[in-house]
Structures are given as structure tokens and as C-alpha cells.
Chains A and B, each alone.
Chain A
């Protein structure tokens, strides 16, 4: 066997699997999006006709902006909270650290639909636990999902709540990878805790932080279940984000042409985001 080629044998099985299940369907999806789709089957070739319809949709711009706001806020808040928690849990001892970690990751390991339904019922529904207690305490009726900003706020909050666990695990792993001697040396040199945190910990956490950022970005940009279950996109269009738009086009209006086109565009956007990440992190290929 050719010395230069034999490693290909090692990567081929994995790549073949990914080609079959991940790449080909995207190309098929793109091909599919170039046709007029009727009753679930492609009919005439219309080129970029489905895409043209997306770009002439007057609601599209606002949906895109909303998606960006939702994603940026969710990712920033999740990362910030997870970072604080990771440093804190990392400084705890033994069993309690483990229990704290388990508590934080709980929502992450429950399925999104069930977790969101439960959150909504317990905390936001006016016959749920929290608002009933508030009522019993004599507080006036609260309507958390009735206000456009409130609804978006809770959409972000639920997304943060659901995904902190993942961010925590990765950041905790990153923290444990920082050699103790670094901190020790800094401490001996008279650095304060805050100085150690900003000038040693943070720079050394660069890679895990970027990993967290990218995975969170992707999972937020693509989440259908969270807005669907929490708000249904309302009130008005205030919590309608792109993935929900795709879902409605496909399953409510049964417009598979524009749904698939939008999905393909979103994938392209996703891939660009990942490549941007690779660049930013100066990851060695």
C-alpha cells in the first residue's frame, strides 16, 4: 500500500457514512429546492424561483433580525452564566461539586419539548405553580407572555435555561485543564484573584469558550421546539424566528418549495458560522 494513501483507509469509513447520511441529503435538498413542489413531489424545474419568493417576502427581514437578536442574547447570557458557574463549581470540593454539576445539567438532558412544556406550565401558566403562589400572596395577575418584549425575554430565558448544562460541562473541562502551577506562580507573584481570572484563566479558556459559542449559536439558530412550544411565535410575530418560519412553511402551509429553500440557505449560513469559528480560533488543521 502506498505510504501516503493508506491513512485514507482510516478516514474513509467515517467519511462514507457522513457522505451518505449528512452531505448527500443536503445536495438532494438543494436540488429539490430548484423545482416547483406540488403535493410533496418535485414537478417543473424553476431554478431559483423558490428563493426569489423568499426574498420578496416582506416579513423576512424582521424575522432575520429577530433571529439574530435571539441568538446573540441567548449565546451571550448562557456563556456568561455558565462561565461564572464553572469557575465556582471548579472551586468547590468533592461531592457537592458533583451534585451542583448534576443540578445544572438537568434541563439539558431532558428532551426539549417536555422541558419547555414543563417550564411553561410551572412558571408561566396562570394556573401553574408560580403564578398561583404569586396570586395567593396577593400579587396582582401577571401575564408574562402577553407582551412582545416579555415573550422574547422568556424565549431567551428558556433557551438559556435549557442549554447552560452543556456550556457548563465544556467550560468545566477547560478549567480542569489549566495547570495548577500557573495560578500558583501568579499568586506568589502577588496577583489578585481577579487578575488571575482575567489574565490567566480567560485566555487559557479561549478554545472551550469558542467551542461553546459555536455549538450554542448553532443550536439556537436552529431551534424549532423552543418557540413552537413556548409562544407559538406570538404575540403577533414577536417571537417568530427563522427555524419556526421554515417549519410553518413546511407543515402548516405545506409549501415545501420555499421551506426547503429557506432551510438550504440556513444551512449555508450555519456552515459559514462554523468556518468563521475555525478562523477565529486559529485552529490548526
Chain B
């Protein structure tokens, strides 16, 4: 179980379900396809409808004239700017998270130092904190205001990075456990410094775990709503989720632009998953979740 990349034989399933279960599960999957795809398809159709077609009863499924007006509205309201800044937030979060989590995970896994156990438990216990609670919104807002770090370009990346760190440290440490210590020791004898070992020996070996932690951090930053709606005010700093939510306003829910914005908002995530989807699974495999 030590290696990180293993060829998976494609010709033979590893574990199979008993036939009856397999049938039941495929039915379940069929149901899930309907439940998952229909709302998304409906969202796409809705985003292409004009106002009068939105609430016809019975609902118009295909017999309407598609229009891009909703997308034009969303883009006119500055959504591309929201996408841009969100991309900046998400990428910064990923880079910072990995840069901080890797050395921490390395130290937790390889060395004995004062308070190691306590600190590691603290990291793990802070996973619930990182889910971000709407409940503590106002005290949190006051706290961050007093520190003077609200409403700045670094506000959200800072918060998101801290949110993603516990899980990232956990995943990377899990992978490190599988990397033989002999490798470090050999390098140490060759005269490499600790930092050199980390960057030249360890880093390439834990790449899948970094990928998995990175993608999770990206998705987390991209979909975060509560902090982003409160901690920044300047419109130039507003990310996509509050911008999407803006279409569920005080004066009504505007399904057309709402779905158009939501569909634009999931495209980057979909791309990430299509490109890196396998990476996540293999990164987690080599990481924290092995048996």
C-alpha cells in the first residue's frame, strides 16, 4: 500500500455486488439519474426562457422560443467580474492551503515535537469550525471588523484558507504515512536539508493527495456563501455565490437570471471535475481513507 500510483486492472472488477443487489443498485442509479439530471436540465431550460414562458401552467417543456436575454442580463449586472474575482479567491486559496498544509502534514507525520499530539487533535477538532456557521455570523463579523481585515482583497482567501486547512492537512498526512521514511533518511545522508527533502523527495510523491486536497479546497472556496455575503462590501470584491443569490431578492425570485447565473457558476466546477475528477479519487485513495 506504499505506492501512490497503482495501475488498476480494468479487465476484472475488484469487488462485485451480488446479482440481486447489483440490479437493485442499477435501479437506484437510474432513479438518481432522474433526480440529478432533471433539475439541472430544467435549470438550463429555464435560463433560456423569457418571462412569459416561465410560469405557464402546465409548464412549457420544449415548446418555447429560447432566448439568451437572461444571460445578457446576468452579464450586464457584472457577473463576469464576479467570476473573475472568485477565480482569484479560489486559486489563491488552493495555493495557500497547499503551501501551508504540506509542511504541517510533513512535520506531524515525520517528527516528534512538543505538543504534537495536542496540536494534531486540535487540527482535527477544528473540522466542524471550518464548515462555517451562519449562526456565528454577527460575532464573527464584529471580530473580523475589529481586526480590521474585512472588505479587502485578501479577506476571503484568508478565511477560506483557514477553513480548508484541517481537511487538507488530514488528507496529506494520510498519504505521507504511506511514503517510506527510508527515502528521507537516504536523502538526509546525501546531505539534503529538511526543506530540500520536502520539496524534492516528498512533494512529487504526494502529488495525488495535493490534487485531491486542492480540488476540495477549490470547490469549497467557489461555493462558499455565508462569509462572502458578510465579510466583503465593495462590489468589486463580491464573489459569485452572493451575486447569484442577488436574484432571489427582496422584490422577488427571478428564475430566469437566477438559473442563468447558477449555470454560469457551475461551469468552472464542472471543468475542474472533468479534468481532475480521477485525480481526486486517486488522491484520496492514497491518502486519508485507506483501510
Instruction: Type the 1/0 row for B8-37, where 1 means its CB is closer than 8 Å to any CB of A.
Output: 111011111110011011101100110111
Q: Is the CB of B135 within 8 A of A262?
A: yes
CB distance from B238 to the nearest CB of A (A): 15
Q: Is the CB of A173 within 8 A of B284?
A: yes
Stretch at the interface among A55-63, A68-76, A121-129: A121-129
Which chain A residues (166-212) contact chain B, with CB distance < 8 Å?
Answer: 169-170, 172-180, 183, 192-194, 196-197, 200-201, 203-208, 211
Q: How many residues of B contact A (CB 8 A)?
A: 113
Q: Which chain B residue has the least Cβ–Cβ distance from A135?
A: B58
Residues of B within 8 A of A246 (CB): 133-135
Q: Is the CB of B131 within 8 A of A21?
A: no
Residues of B within 8 A of A180 (CB): 9, 12, 14
Q: Is B153 on the interface with A (CB-CB < 8 A)?
A: no
Q: Is B82 on the interface with A (CB-CB < 8 A)?
A: no
Which chain A residues (127-143) contact chain B, with CB distance < 8 Å?
Answer: 127-129, 132, 135-136
Alpha-carbon distance between A211 and B159 when the two chains are bound, in angstroms: 24
Q: Is A17 on the interface with B (CB-CB < 8 A)?
A: yes
Interface of A: prevailing SS? helix
Q: Is the CB of A111 within 8 A of B262?
A: yes
Residues of B within 8 A of A170 (CB): 284, 289
Q: Which chain B residue has the least Cβ–Cβ distance from A17?
A: B162
- Taking a contact as CB atoms closer than 8 A, the residue among B121, B147, B266 that contacts A109 in the complex is B266
Q: Is the CB of A205 within 8 A of B291?
A: yes
Alpha-carbon distance between A204 and B50 when the two chains are bound, in angstroms: 53
Residues of B within 8 A of A100 (CB): 29
Q: Is B166 on the interface with A (CB-CB < 8 A)?
A: yes
- Given A222-B128, A247-B134, A128 and B59 touching (CB < 8 A)? yes
CB distance from A29 to the nearest CB of B (A): 4
Residues of B within 8 A of A215 (CB): 127
Interface of B: prevailing SS? helix
Q: Is the CB of B121 within 8 A of A132?
A: no
- Taking a contact as CB atoms closer than 8 A, the residue among B101, B104, B162, B288 that contacts A211 in the complex is B288
Residues of B within 8 A of A227 (CB): none
Q: Is the CB of A84 within 8 A of B21?
A: yes
Alpha-carbon distance between A168 and B184 when the two chains are bound, in angstroms: 34
CB distance from A43 to the nearest CB of B (A): 14
- Taking a contact as CB atoms closer than 8 A, the residue among A103, A174, A218 that contacts B37 in the complex is A103
Q: Is the CB of B138 within 8 A of A40?
A: yes
Q: How large is the interface on A (under 10, 10 to 19, 20 to 34, 35 or more residues)?
A: 35 or more
Residues of A within 8 A of B32 (CB): 85, 103-104, 164
Q: Is B194 on the interface with A (CB-CB < 8 A)?
A: yes
Instruction: Type the 1/0 row for B142-185, where 1 means its CB is closer than 8 Å to any CB of A.
Output: 11100100000000001101110110010000000000000000
Alpha-carbon distance between A165 and B15 when the two chains are bound, in angstroms: 20
Residues of A within 8 A of B10 (CB): 93-94
Stretch at the interface among A44-52, A148-156, A233-241, A268-276: A268-276
Residues of B within 8 A of A172 (CB): 281
Q: Is the CB of A84 within 8 A of B117?
A: no
Which chain A residues (227-285) contact chain B, with CB distance < 8 Å?
Answer: 243, 246-247, 250, 256, 259-260, 262-264, 266-267, 270-271, 273-275, 278, 285
Which chain A residues (86-128) contact chain B, with CB distance < 8 Å?
Answer: 87-88, 90-94, 98, 100-107, 109-115, 117-119, 121-123, 127-128
Alpha-carbon distance between A206 and B290 when the two chains are bound, in angstroms: 9
Residues of B within 8 A of A88 (CB): 17, 22, 25-26, 29
Residues of B within 8 A of A11 (CB): 103-104, 107-108, 119
- Given A25-B140, A207-B289, A256-B138, A176 and B124 touching (CB < 8 A)? no
Alpha-carbon distance between A228 and B152 when the two chains are bound, in angstroms: 30
Q: Is B189 on the interface with A (CB-CB < 8 A)?
A: no
Alpha-carbon distance between A102 and B1 when the two chains are bound, in angstroms: 27
Q: Is the CB of B265 within 8 A of A22?
A: no
CB distance from B271 to the nearest CB of A (A): 11
Q: Is B277 on the interface with A (CB-CB < 8 A)?
A: yes
Q: Is the CB of A106 within 8 A of B37?
A: yes
- Given A14-B169, A110-B262, A113-B225, A250 and B140 touching (CB < 8 A)? no
Alpha-carbon distance between A38 and B81 when the two chains are bound, in angstroms: 38
Residues of A within 8 A of B117 (CB): 285
Query: Nearest 3 pairs between A and B by C-beta?
Result: A263-B135, A21-B162, A173-B284
27 contacts between A and B (CB under 8 A): A6-B194, A17-B100, A21-B163, A85-B25, A87-B15, A90-B15, A91-B15, A92-B13, A98-B277, A106-B36, A110-B266, A111-B225, A117-B258, A128-B59, A132-B57, A173-B212, A173-B284, A173-B287, A201-B15, A203-B291, A207-B288, A214-B127, A243-B133, A250-B134, A250-B137, A263-B135, A266-B133
